[in-house]
Structure 1
Amino acid sequence: MNQTNKFFFHADQVGSLLRSEAIKQARLQKAAGEITNEQLRQIENEEISRIVEKQKEVGLQAVTDGEFRRAWWHFDFLENLTGVEGYDTETGIQFHQKQTKSHAIKVTSKLDFVDHPMLEDFKFLQSIAGSHTAKMTIPSPSMLHFRGQIDKNVYPDQDEFFHDLAITYKKAIAAFYDAGCRYLQLDDTSWAYLCSAEQKELLLARGLNPEELQRLYARTINEAISGRPDDMRITMHICRGNFRSTWISSGGYEPVAETLFEGLNIDSFFLEYDSERAGGFEPLRFVKRPDLQIVLGLITSKFGELEDPEAVKQRINEASRYVPLEQLGLSPQCGFASTEEGNLLTEEQQWAKLRHVVEIAEDVWK
């Protein structure tokens, strides 16, 4: 058995959790100059410790810090890479009916990974995980290209940019491993955009070729994760957008399935499957590796109502026509708070959702 299989759990989660009232209040106080960075971090530590215990209580084996120290699932990590800066914009990212607050990132000098603050964030999580597995989530390297502006004076050559991006992530992966991380998740919305006819039209309008992006992103990801230690599990979560319970893209996995499942050297994929927008399970026919796990996001994180467990089990059974049952897992389709604003459900409903995942999984994989 591959050593990374010990970090595969039939019941799992994507990562982000609804920010608690204590966290929200502390952030407002910090912005107003009423508390220091040290005081904010102490409150974060206390709240993260609390929600880690809650994750253990509901039965999850892999625990996260809920991304409680972040405002965004991606920008906070990316803008702390050497060569990347965050900046305010006139408009945010447009979701259906809603728009995020205004923020973006740009590449202003050569890329590198040096002394990243999230290494300390992981070390704290590891210190309180106990016998559970501490799971770290970071954006996929694709997201820097997909969401960032790249100064052509810094990187006039596209291949040089992607090469440096891969090396930067290779250093990041090594640094997290040295910090004790054995379960690292790459979050990536670009692949879902490449499944959407509407979004591909928008990419073409930006001068981007969707087919070329598949090739470039796959090559970069594989280069970034190459040579990782055998006992480190690297997974990928693919999402169609998650902000205040809305979404951006629609379309099944067919356009990218062969590249993802046969071309990427990832250990597991977390796939959104909670609505018709994700299409059917047919693209899973490209899963041919016996060591590749597929975590089915059949439980929605967007709303609080619990799914019919028998209907979820039936869909797992349908997926097992393409992938052996032992290679499948269950999770929510996304996190509960990809941005600090969070989705439209209560904390109580969030924990009920995660408990629902565990209970269904325990029944299916007895």
Structure 2
Amino acid sequence: MNIPTEPIGSIPRSPELIAALASGEVPPDRLDRMYDDAVRDTIARFEATGSPVITDGEQRKYENFWTYPVHGAPNTLPDGFQIPFAAGHIRRMPRLAHAPFRYERHADSYLEVARRYARVAVKQAVISPSALSLMYPPEGIPGYSRSEFIDDLLGEHEKEIRRCLAIGAHKVQVDFTEGRLAVKLDPTGELLNSFIDLNNLALGRFSEDERQRIGVHTCPGGDRDSTHSADVDYANLLPSLFELKAGNFYVALAGEPDPVQVLKMIRECIKPWQRVFVGVTAPIDPRIETAEQVRDRVLQAAEYIPLAQLGTTDDCGFAPFCDDCSTTRDTAFAKIRARVEGTAMAAAILEGSR
């Protein structure tokens, strides 16, 4: 029996790369070489864990997983939507100042580089339309309606996913960490529903077969060992989440205080054509899980989720924001190795019990 296991995306950057980015003084050609070295090292270490699916660790994503497509766009300002974390710090999105909305870069450019070096399957994470929709200011933009903005946003998102699929992405994972945050910002559920509707407009542009290679990731955020919405009950998110027209869902679980209750909700919400990758390692927890702990988490999940629809993952990326050095690369890869080995142990036990 095989239980698929996949990462979420980001791996902490090396201290040298973080310092180079922070200084802003490294010549572009040298910085490009540093990026390339970081990608090659990340892929080599990823493959050494035995992970059958890897990423490039998001080493080249400018600033973070959220705003990489628009980093440096000339028609943006830095005073956009604020994301407050429990630790007290705030991350901020850019604000769109005038038309048109366009990506400065698409994630297939990262995937293309990664596949040059990888010997196993590579997945690619992309940001959701709902996250980027927060760039449009509440007061509007003269001569550029919100509907025009949404049309442009959906077009760019579709183009990005199609390019990733076309060059061989194992999966394209849509990061939807703002889903749980939406419930915190608006307990009525209206903001969450608007996000679901918007993302479904995007997913609806793909065929059923294509959607089996597209997934959605949800977590309470992860930055500097902190979260932005862990206090939000999953009961207010999961029923809506599984209405998304995606074939795969990556659900943070290892860091939840009551994983059984979450698994029961997943069992009630999952559709027959959907697979759920449950989180079995907690990136913001400095303790490294053992393979045995992962095994037990997988066996617990198998009590509630049909084996044909079960997979494993990490709760979140290990450094979604590029300057986050709260987790080391060694810790990240140790947790990934535990995920891979523990998943295989559980699969062997479940195979023997059939």
User: Is the contact made by 2:294 and 2:338 (CA closer than 8 Å) also made in structure 1?
Assistant: no
- Letter in structure 1 aligned against 2:154: A
1:99 equivalent to 2:89? Answer: yes
1:223 equivalent to 2:198? Answer: no
Match of 2:272 in 1: 290
Cα distance in 1, alignment partners of residues 303 and 191 from structure 2: 30
SS of 1:364's equivalent in the other structure is: helix
1:251 equivalent to 2:215? Answer: no
1:142 equivalent to 2:130? Answer: yes
Following TM superposition, by how much is the alpha carbon of 1:86 offset from its aligned partner in structure 2, in angstroms?
4.6
Change (3 A) 1:288 1:238: closer
TM-score (norm 2): 0.85
Change (3 A) 1:17 1:153: same
Cα distance in 2, alignment partners of residues 126 and 302 from structure 1: 28
Cα distance in 1, alignment partners of residues 122 and 281 from structure 2: 22
Match of 1:75 in 2: 67
Cα distance in 2, alignment partners of residues 111 and 335 from structure 1: 31
Of 49, 52, 58, the match for 1:58: 49
Cα distance in 1, alignment partners of residues 268 and 135 from structure 2: 28
Deviates more, 1:166-175 or 1:136-145: 166-175
Match of 1:127 in 2: 116
1:275 equivalent to 2:267? Answer: no
- Letter in structure 2 aligned against 1:98: G
Match of 1:41 in 2: 32
- Letter in structure 2 aligned against 1:121: Y
Following TM superposition, by how much is the alpha carbon of 1:124 offset from its aligned partner in structure 2, in angstroms?
0.7
Q: What is the root-mean-square deviation of aligned Cα atoms in Å?
A: 2.9
Change (3 A) 1:27 1:288: closer
Unpaired stretches in structure 1, ≥5 consecutive residues: 1-7, 205-209
Aligned residue pairs: how many? 341
Cα distance in 1, alignment partners of residues 72 and 107 from structure 2: 9
Following TM superposition, by how much is the alpha carbon of 1:357 offset from its aligned partner in structure 2, in angstroms?
0.2
Change (3 A) 1:77 1:342: same
In the TM superposition, what are the counterparts of 1:1-366 in structure 2 within 5 Å? Answer: 10-28=4-22, 31-32=24-25, 35-69=26-60, 70-79=62-71, 85-87=76-78, 93-100=83-90, 103-113=92-102, 116=105, 118-130=107-119, 132-146=120-134, 149=137, 152-154=140-142, 158-195=146-183, 199-200=184-185, 203=186, 210-228=188-206, 230=209, 233-249=213-229, 250-261=231-242, 263-276=243-256, 280=261, 281-307=263-289, 309-342=291-324, 344-366=326-348
Cα distance in 1, alignment partners of residues 50 and 142 from structure 2: 48
- Letter in structure 2 aligned against 1:228: F
Change (3 A) 1:63 1:311: closer
Following TM superposition, by how much is the alpha carbon of 1:92 offset from its aligned partner in structure 2, in angstroms?
6.2
Following TM superposition, by how much is the alpha carbon of 1:107 offset from its aligned partner in structure 2, in angstroms?
2.3
Following TM superposition, by how much is the alpha carbon of 1:284 offset from its aligned partner in structure 2, in angstroms?
0.6
Cα distance in 1, alignment partners of residues 75 and 171 from structure 2: 25
User: Is the contact made by 2:106 and 2:160 (CA closer than 8 Å) also made in structure 1?
Assistant: no
User: Is the contact made by 2:70 and 2:104 (CA closer than 8 Å) also made in structure 1?
Assistant: no
TM-score (norm 1): 0.82
Cα distance in 2, alignment partners of residues 9 and 41 from structure 1: 37
- Letter in structure 1 aligned against 2:110: D
Match of 1:3 in 2: none
Q: Deviations over 1:311-340 (max 9, x none)?
A: 443433333343202321222211110112
User: Is the contact made by 1:298 and 1:312 (CA closer than 8 Å) also made in structure 2?
Assistant: yes
Unpaired stretches in structure 2, ≥5 consecutive residues: 349-354
User: Is the contact made by 1:77 and 1:138 (CA closer than 8 Å) also made in structure 2?
Assistant: no
User: Is the contact made by 1:304 and 1:346 (CA closer than 8 Å) also made in structure 2?
Assistant: no
Cα distance in 2, alignment partners of residues 163 and 234 from structure 1: 21
User: Is the contact made by 2:85 and 2:226 (CA closer than 8 Å) also made in structure 1?
Assistant: yes
SS of 2:123's equivalent in the other structure is: strand
